[in-house]
Amino acid sequence: MSTLITIREASLNGNGGDYSPAKEKAANRGVYGARSPLLHRRLRLLVGGAKYKLILLFFLVTAAYLLSSKISPFMGWNPHYPSSVSSPSRGGYTVLINTWKRNTLLKQSVAHYASCQGTDAIHVVWSEVDPPSYKLRDYLKKMVQKKSQTAHKPNLRFDLNEEDNLNNRFKPIQDLRTDAIFSVDDDVIVPCRTLDFAFTVWQTAPLTMVGFVPRMHWLDEEKNDVVHYRYGGWWSVWWMGTYSMVLSKAAFFHKKYLELYTKKMPSSIHDYVSRERNCEDIAMSLLVANATGAPPIWVKGKIYEIGSSGISSLKDHSDKRNKCLNDFVSLYGAMPLASTNAKAVDARYEWFW
């Protein structure tokens, strides 16, 4: 403390002694400037010579890294450049948006996905007696034209269903130009960079489901040869670091699973989904797991839910999910889900290995 005061006095004296705001400022600056040597000395006292050098080295390396990541674009090498991996020449994806009576959200999500480089087409699954109004269609068409970044403007199509049925979201689509489907709820926004990265992960495993919302199952109890499973939500995955499903509210999968879901999956599961208005996502996870015998892939990335928060926090919801899981598994005859701890991350942003 005494050092600070002396320095301040000295600098005031050095300026002739008479007060002015500008001089006061300059003097203050002097004080802050003087703080770092003090800190320096205290740190040295605290940690001793060798360790101090180590810490200093760490800061230097960090500073050098930060500097180089700022400079590198000027040196012709830019790690943040949207890389060739997501260029349309390697094929894009079809965004399949499931919506229900939430036109404001639909407008936002169509505008967003139209702006992503990899989007080849946008399909809106519409499940209402009244078709979308001319005004809404026109608005969305114009929005897609405006937001698209590529020469090829994504096709916007409505897949009309009069009946409100959750199985609608997995109906096969005619004239698809891509193998990849990105299935998403109308209130979920995945930033384009994150989405394009997940697409490259899917390209390495096109028969696997690749998504952002992991869920798990575990063996709960075994009574008289009857096996009972539990469905684990966000907290369970966070706690255990294990998952066996990714939800279709934000996931890539191959278009062939639309056929399989609609035409090959046992119709008792369709009936269950339409009766309970729930669990189409669990049904899809089981279907893909049964077809591949492998776990899905969870991709690291922040996603945004723009609607009001969903039903998933209610106790009733978790009971329903448990029941679906067990009923579906008994229809399969055995548990098709496989668990994993792997998580895909973008190496460009994971420099601290």
Ligand X SMILES: *[C@@H]1O[C@H](CO)[C@@H](O)[C@H](O)[C@H]1NC(C)=O
Interaction of residue 87 with ligand X, rule CB under 6 A: no
Shortest distance (Å) from residue 245 CB to ligand X:
16
Nearest to 208 by CA among 126, 292, 136: 292
Shortest distance (Å) from residue 333 CB to ligand X:
8
Sort residue 241 into left (φ over 0), alpha (ψ -120 to 50) or beta. Answer: left
Distance, in Å, from the CA atom of 154 to the CA atom of 147, rounded to the nearest integer, reads 10
- In the complex with ligand X, the residue whose CB is nearer, 146 or 264, is 264
Among 290, 292, 318, 340, binds ligand X (CB under 6 A): 290
Shortest distance (Å) from residue 87 CB to ligand X:
34
Interaction of residue 131 with ligand X, rule CB under 6 A: no
* Cβ-based neighbours of 88, under 8 Å, separated by 6 or more: 117, 118, 120, 150, 152
Ramachandran angles phi, psi of 215, nearest 5°: -140, 165
- In the complex with ligand X, the residue whose CB is nearer, 196 or 280, is 280
Shortest distance (Å) from residue 244 CB to ligand X:
16
Among 266, 271, 277, 345, binds ligand X (CB under 6 A): 266
Nearest to 92 by CA among 107, 108, 114: 114
Shortest distance (Å) from residue 286 CB to ligand X:
8
Q: Which SS3 state, helix, strand or coil, does residue 93 take? A: strand
DSSP bridge pairs for 161: 127
Asked if residue 196 lies in contact with residue 160, where contact means CB atoms within 8 angstroms, the answer is no
Q: What residues numbered 180-199 form the site for ligand X, per CB under 6 A?
A: none
Sort residue 17 into left (φ over 0), alpha (ψ -120 to 50) or beta. Answer: left
Catalytically annotated residues? 281
Shortest distance (Å) from residue 254 CB to ligand X:
15
- In the complex with ligand X, the residue whose CB is nearer, 112 or 254, is 254
Burial environment of residue 39 by CB neighbours within 10 A (0 to 12, 13 to 18, 19 or more): exposed
Interaction of residue 139 with ligand X, rule CB under 6 A: no
- In the complex with ligand X, the residue whose CB is nearer, 144 or 269, is 269
Binding residues for ligand X, rule CB under 6 A, total: 5
Distance, in Å, from the CA atom of 196 to the CA atom of 206, rounded to the nearest integer, reads 14
- In the complex with ligand X, the residue whose CB is nearer, 198 or 289, is 289
Q: Nearest-CB residue to ligand X?
A: 290
Distance, in Å, from the CA atom of 106 to the CA atom of 110, rounded to the nearest integer, reads 6
DSSP bridge pairs for 215: 245
Nearest to 291 by CA among 228, 243, 338: 338
Interaction of residue 271 with ligand X, rule CB under 6 A: no
Q: What residues numbered 313-342 form the site for ligand X, per CB under 6 A?
A: 332
- In the complex with ligand X, the residue whose CB is nearer, 106 or 265, is 265
- Please tell me what DSSP assigns to residue 154: P
Interaction of residue 100 with ligand X, rule CB under 6 A: no
Binding stretches for ligand X (CB under 6 A): 265-266, 290-291, 332
